[in-house]
Chain A
């Protein structure tokens, strides 16, 4: 069991390392020279070369890479070429915003999807269950940004219930914060809830067909009771996997949603930095996203072992 975790941890570490090399390499082949972007349309070649030197882009690639890795390991990835702002604190600030958004969306999705999914499974032979299932199928197909645009035009522009975008710091302006969090979180949560509900449904359906549940019911438990006492834990295993994968897609989905709702999170930082060719910032933000995704996968693996005793014994 410990061995298994160690093995997973090693895969995690190797993946991070490989990702850092890839991300760094991709940035170098991206067309567009940061010095040219900074100096503008009519800059002389000499000026561009001088600025590249100033940015340290003329140093050997390996040196630049190692420098960057060292920076990240010490939580100080350096300063931006153009704005001269420190990258670490910027990312930390933006990450907070994105995490609040993503976690809220995830919680919303789980809160909706689990009961709905169970209900769809239990009622799968009835009209309401089938209808619900069809609705969730449609929900899966609606991209978050589209949901966002529709929600803005209805709840912000037409009804004026909430602002159309922006962000507020929870401690300073709790009401404004919740108002601004609502629509983007719902947009992100919508698709996730639909996807998740379908997984919950099929997981619960599988469990309902298991022998041990039939036994439980034969002993006199009502179907829902049987499910509650014996089935849910088993149904949770595949659901947790999907949850982990979804958390990763949520992080990526947030990049788009932040733009629609003018939220100063990691996504908008990433897009701005790409446009400005702030290579260090782009690399570092991408690495944060990669590490987060890999970490989630790792944690899901670890959680498996907690939830499903069979996996534990299997590994021994």
Chain B
């Protein structure tokens, strides 16, 4: 009897101890700054009732509705700071919505148009850009946006504060000067066609001189929306900026809901938990949405799905004949039909159709199995084993096996390794170049020079000839730029520097009455300013 009581009290103590530990954790949660996430998870769900009522009451009057629009996305940002953290999720969320740029890209035409700069002039020698800034623009912390802030933001890119590699885009900037409150002068070290375009990307984002202390968790910008709350692991809310200098957005708030799982994202749309699927991860799942209850948007992106071939010396694919054989061996239309439900666009080179220098190069290496076999025989490479090392991304995984079977039909041996993306793929393929073939979509806009301009890059191309072309394209006139880049794209294609499987489509699903969705996803941002319910 005595023992039994003792045991019980011991067991009880153990239980108590556990409870105390847990309680301790909770206390930690409420006191420390990271908190908020406790309440986070609920936020969205609770709100849905009121959203519904808002939907019925609010007529789309000037100033917009009281409704919150809910958008489903796949990749949650790791932080809010795109100056030190790479990845598409942060600019997708914040650029053009919270942070604005001096100039921006018109998503329809691909042209560069005014944003925070109402106009700009370029000097005769094309070295000096004089921007005239909009007046009466304020940041969400209340302070005014002036040329001072603009100079600060651009200078900051070349300082140590920015660490991501994209900062190199502004290396060409020699000096930045705020002439007066609304005039900014930027001087370049050499003429550069890509400079103005770079300003439309995240390196051109305008920060408040006083607003960069905690970029990882706080975002202060001039955009149509201000940063609201972040429920880590589930959603981020943006709120309408009441002091926005442009047209006020229709929706009072935007909930960006993050789903790691493509099925879960689709289910949320099917069950009306979200209003928009920003990107359909598996095109074959579109069938679920066909038939009138949903609107399907299909356009283009900047995501060239590249079959890269390691042509560094000593590798089998250093032999141009073998690379050409690979290009001939792949039936691109059949491949796209099989692995991406026929959605997307065949490009044949590293240029999407929305770039001014686009040319259809799909005829360079028509699908020709016999020619491929001949080339392989000539190279004496029958049965050569190639390691196809692909990242664990939907398009790479599903197209990898198709590439494998097409190359095996031509007489090559292919072994597939799936590498976890990003970490393991970056290390093995990108950094160590330990691969023969890989498949990855290069989503950065106008990235041909970046991907094929250096032999040190994992694509291992970057011949002197191409480097000269890229340089001439950047420093020449606009016409020269177009001509030289067309030449470069042709050269890359003819040399079989890589194979271009297809261009990823922009696929969105939305409630039928949502308007203002960007058809083509050719910007780094997911522009929310024009969204409305009509």
A: residues with CB less than 8 A from B are 1-2, 5, 30-34, 36-44, 47, 50-51, 75-76, 82-86, 88-97, 99, 149, 152-153, 156-157, 160, 163-169, 172-173, 176-177, 180, 259-262, 264, 268-269, 271-272, 275-278, 295, 298-299, 302-303, 305-306, 309, 312
B: residues with CB less than 8 A from A are 3-4, 6-8, 10-11, 14-15, 18, 22, 24-26, 28-29, 32-35, 37-42, 44-46, 76, 78-79, 81, 84-87, 163-166, 168, 216-217, 231-234, 259-261, 263-264, 267-268, 270-271, 273, 420-424, 426-428, 430-431, 450, 457
Question: Which of B3, B32, B163 makes the CB contact (< 8 A) with A88?
Answer: B32
Docked-complex contact B79 and A92, CB < 8 angstroms: no
Contacts of B11 in A (CB 8 A): 299, 302-303, 306
Contacts of B164 in A (CB 8 A): 39-40, 43
Docked-complex contact B86 and A302, CB < 8 angstroms: no
> How near does chain B come to A157, taking the closest CB pair, in angstroms?
5
**Could you tell me the distance between the alpha carbons of A44 and B376 in the complex, rounded to whole angstroms?**
37
**Could you tell me the distance between the alpha carbons of A93 and B37 in the complex, rounded to whole angstroms?**
7
Using known A-B contacts A32-B424, A262-B261, determine if residue A1 contacts B37 with beta carbons closer than 8 Å: no
Docked-complex contact A1 and B7, CB < 8 angstroms: yes
Contacts of A167 in B (CB 8 A): 41-42, 45, 234
Contacts of A47 in B (CB 8 A): 163, 165
Using known A-B contacts A93-B38, A169-B38, determine if residue A299 contacts B45 with beta carbons closer than 8 Å: no
6 closest A-B pairs (Cβ-Cβ)? A40-B86, A32-B423, A264-B233, A169-B42, A92-B25, A164-B267
> How near does chain B come to A287, taking the closest CB pair, in angstroms?
13
> How near does chain A come to B264, taking the closest CB pair, in angstroms?
5
Docked-complex contact A173 and B45, CB < 8 angstroms: yes
**Could you tell me the distance between the alpha carbons of A169 and B41 in the complex, rounded to whole angstroms?**
7
Docked-complex contact B270 and A38, CB < 8 angstroms: no
**Could you tell me the distance between the alpha carbons of A75 and B15 in the complex, rounded to whole angstroms?**
19
**Could you tell me the distance between the alpha carbons of A172 and B47 in the complex, rounded to whole angstroms?**
11
How many residue pairs link A and B with beta carbons under 8 A? The number is: 223
Docked-complex contact B10 and A302, CB < 8 angstroms: yes
Contacts of A303 in B (CB 8 A): 11
Contacts of A166 in B (CB 8 A): 41, 44-45, 234, 268, 273
Given contacts A82-B85, A272-B260, 12 further A-B contacts (CB under 8 A): A1-B3, A33-B423, A85-B217, A88-B29, A88-B32, A90-B37, A93-B29, A157-B267, A163-B271, A167-B41, A259-B260, A302-B11
Nearest-CB residue, chain A, relative to B263: A149
**Could you tell me the distance between the alpha carbons of A96 and B106 in the complex, rounded to whole angstroms?**
46
Question: Which of A43, A84, A259, A264 makes the CB contact (< 8 A) with B234?
Answer: A264
Docked-complex contact B232 and A90, CB < 8 angstroms: yes
Contacts of A34 in B (CB 8 A): 423
**Could you tell me the distance between the alpha carbons of A27 and B306 in the complex, rounded to whole angstroms?**
31
Please, could you name 23 A-B residue pairs with CB atoms under 8 Å apart, sorted by A? A1-B3, A1-B7, A31-B424, A32-B422, A33-B427, A37-B422, A39-B85, A39-B163, A41-B426, A75-B28, A85-B34, A89-B34, A90-B232, A91-B25, A92-B26, A93-B38, A94-B233, A163-B268, A259-B260, A262-B234, A262-B264, A272-B76, A299-B15
Docked-complex contact B423 and A37, CB < 8 angstroms: yes
Contacts of A75 in B (CB 8 A): 24-25, 28
**Could you tell me the distance between the alpha carbons of A247 and B221 in the complex, rounded to whole angstroms?**
48
Question: Which of B3, B34, B163, B424 makes the CB contact (< 8 A) with A90?
Answer: B34
Docked-complex contact A41 and B430, CB < 8 angstroms: yes
Docked-complex contact A264 and B28, CB < 8 angstroms: no
Nearest-CB residue, chain B, relative to A164: B267
Identify the interface centre among A36, A164, A312: most chain B CB within 10 Å of its CB: A164
Contacts of A180 in B (CB 8 A): 45
Contacts of B14 in A (CB 8 A): 298-299, 302
Docked-complex contact A32 and B87, CB < 8 angstroms: no
Contacts of A306 in B (CB 8 A): 4, 7-8, 11
**Could you tell me the distance between the alpha carbons of A197 and B52 in the complex, rounded to whole angstroms?**
44
Using known A-B contacts A92-B29, A260-B261, determine if residue A176 contacts B46 with beta carbons closer than 8 Å: yes
Docked-complex contact A172 and B267, CB < 8 angstroms: no
Docked-complex contact A86 and B34, CB < 8 angstroms: yes
Identify the interface centre among A51, A89, A96: most chain B CB within 10 Å of its CB: A89
Contacts of B42 in A (CB 8 A): 167-169, 172-173, 176-177
**Could you tell me the distance between the alpha carbons of A38 and B231 in the complex, rounded to whole angstroms?**
21
Nearest-CB residue, chain A, relative to B425: A32
Contacts of B18 in A (CB 8 A): 295
**Could you tell me the distance between the alpha carbons of A129 and B38 in the complex, rounded to whole angstroms?**
46
**Could you tell me the distance between the alpha carbons of A272 and B270 in the complex, rounded to whole angstroms?**
25
**Could you tell me the distance between the alpha carbons of A277 and B38 in the complex, rounded to whole angstroms?**
23
Contacts of A163 in B (CB 8 A): 45, 268, 271, 273
**Could you tell me the distance between the alpha carbons of A39 and B428 in the complex, rounded to whole angstroms?**
16
**Could you tell me the distance between the alpha carbons of A262 and B166 in the complex, rounded to whole angstroms?**
32
Question: Which of A36, A85, A261 makes the CB contact (< 8 A) with B426?
Answer: A36
Docked-complex contact A89 and B37, CB < 8 angstroms: yes
